[in-house]
Structure 1
């Protein structure tokens, strides 16, 4: 898994200027669906994105939260919708894990990857008043008393990050999953959980309010905004993971509609105001167009399937 992202297509240069005028679009309203709860990582991503995307595409964007089944309900919503560019799904590794770890009616391959925007970071965090000052402290506690670690829904990259960290550290911490980051945050803050694994986007207000302490990032390198936070690998555990964020459509999206997104995505990522906003959230722009994104997703599926088989999670 740690080598997966390096095998996925090249990061495209974001020097494209903002478009002179918004691109014409075949629909007056476009729905962007997420499996995330309000305030969750994908929800925050979409709501921030549409503030700037409307400068590039001449339509009205609506964000719709379709929760349940770790993304299964959202995938079903998309798969049964017209493939005409009126609806998209916010892709993250969750929709891959849900497809591989359960048997939803509609899986990842019922959707067509269209464009990727970002790679973002997973971090290990704890309450600021917890006894854990480093990741090593958390591991030591897990070796003594097992411990309790929180993650998002069972079919998530956060869950796999926790499982890989357990394996690398040789501990058997209990992994407690949640449908959203809010409940997990409460349990970290009240000490029910030793640590949580989440995204900077979800944690920003608690970081700024000095309610939580970041212990490590699963990034391959330290985060620019948090240079004192070591990587998990720096801490002695050979685990490297990053999350991708993009959009998928019902299968059969016309090429001319996909081409509009190929033009708009690099333009929105180059918007100075948006760039300032997403870099503050430790998001890394990683534009992949509709001709390359399917291969990106297929490679992630192959790598994830290999890990799950080797770890005995699936046969």
Structure 2
């Protein structure tokens, strides 16, 4: 009898072992920039997938401000139960902690879940602008100050322009905004000379002919705008990469992270996500939790060296 009972124990344990994390309440995905960016579209596509497979509604909210730090503080301060996630470029996680004293967040505040996309950054001008290249901008900026907008002070688009200035000179007057759309609105209205943006956020304006993309800061051309050269190809030492990922609060349990990582990958393979990414000219590419975590650590260390070299000091 005892032997039969012992033999039965593994089978009795199977249902419990087979259980995996499932949210018990609605989930929230925080976007730390103003509405209207490309991230809004694909984050909502990801939220729809999570709702369908995990069984709880997912709300996507915008909490902008502080070059992404306001929204990511919301994520960092949330309970580590998998119910509050953030989707953001790396700026508030790996750049801003070097820029702002006592910011309260950094890489150790989060558990990276997955990498989602490369935000190829670039410069856009109004369609009737005389500037047709980044070198045109530099030459004019040596004659007079040029005004431009970006998603915020020390955002990665801002740092792309900073690199142009450090590489070639010129005078650039920076006007910070809470995201790409407000900056582009001002450029379209003629109140700014250009905008430094995530190219995907400007893709509709570029496709309609209202704006012109004159250069990108990636180490490759944007696949949807293959005729537009990189800054490097235009003779400027101004490579600025930007990767987007999903983050959970530090301390989120391993089983929860495993499910979130898996469903991040699965969401990116759905027709809905692919269609949204294609429509918004998003350069999507899944990165595992391990790979993306290593990238976050490396980028944080890199900016700790690069920013002082650029003359940037914490405020």
TM-score (normalised: structure 1): 0.86
CA gap of 1:205–1:279, structure 2 versus 1, over 3 A, is closer
1:119 alignment counterpart = 118
CA distance in 1: counterparts of 2:186 and 2:102, whole angstroms: 29
Query: Which residue of 67, 73, 77 corresponds with 2:74?
Result: 77
Contact in 2 for aligned 1:130/1:191 (Cα 8 Å): no
Contact in 2 for aligned 1:225/1:280 (Cα 8 Å): no
Which runs of 5 or more residues in structure 1 are unaligned? 1-22
Q: Could you say what secondary structure the match of 1:144 adopts?
A: coil
Q: 1:198 Cα shift?
A: 0.7
Q: Could you say what secondary structure the match of 2:119 adopts?
A: strand
CA distance in 1: counterparts of 2:130 and 2:232, whole angstroms: 22
Query: Which residue of 100, 103, 121 corresponds with 1:102?
Result: 100
1:67 alignment counterpart = 64
1:5 alignment counterpart = none
Residue range with higher mean Cα deviation, 61-70 or 137-146: 61-70
Q: Could you say what secondary structure the match of 1:292 adopts?
A: helix
Q: 1:144 Cα shift?
A: 0.9
Q: 1:77 Cα shift?
A: 1.5
1:138 alignment counterpart = 137
| CA shift digits 1:122-148 (9 cap, x unpaired) | 111100011112222111110111212
Contact in 2 for aligned 1:114/1:258 (Cα 8 Å): yes
Equivalent pairs counted in the alignment come to: 293
TM-score (normalised: structure 2): 0.86
Contact in 2 for aligned 1:112/1:251 (Cα 8 Å): yes
Q: Does 1:43 align with 2:40?
A: yes
| CA shift digits 1:167-189 (9 cap, x unpaired) | 11222322222122222112211
CA distance in 2: counterparts of 1:27 and 1:155, whole angstroms: 38
CA distance in 2: counterparts of 1:68 and 1:217, whole angstroms: 25
Which runs of 5 or more residues in structure 2 are unaligned? 1-19
Q: Could you say what secondary structure the match of 1:219 adopts?
A: coil
Determine which structure has more spread, i.e. the larger CA radius of gyration: 2
Q: How does 1:205-244 map to 2 (within 5 A)?
A: 205-244=204-243
2:87 alignment counterpart = 90
| CA shift digits 1:238-261 (9 cap, x unpaired) | 222222111111110111011112
2:245 alignment counterpart = 246
More helix per residue: 1 or 2?
A: 2
Contact in 2 for aligned 1:266/1:287 (Cα 8 Å): yes
What RMSD in Å do the two structures reach over aligned CA positions? Answer: 2.1
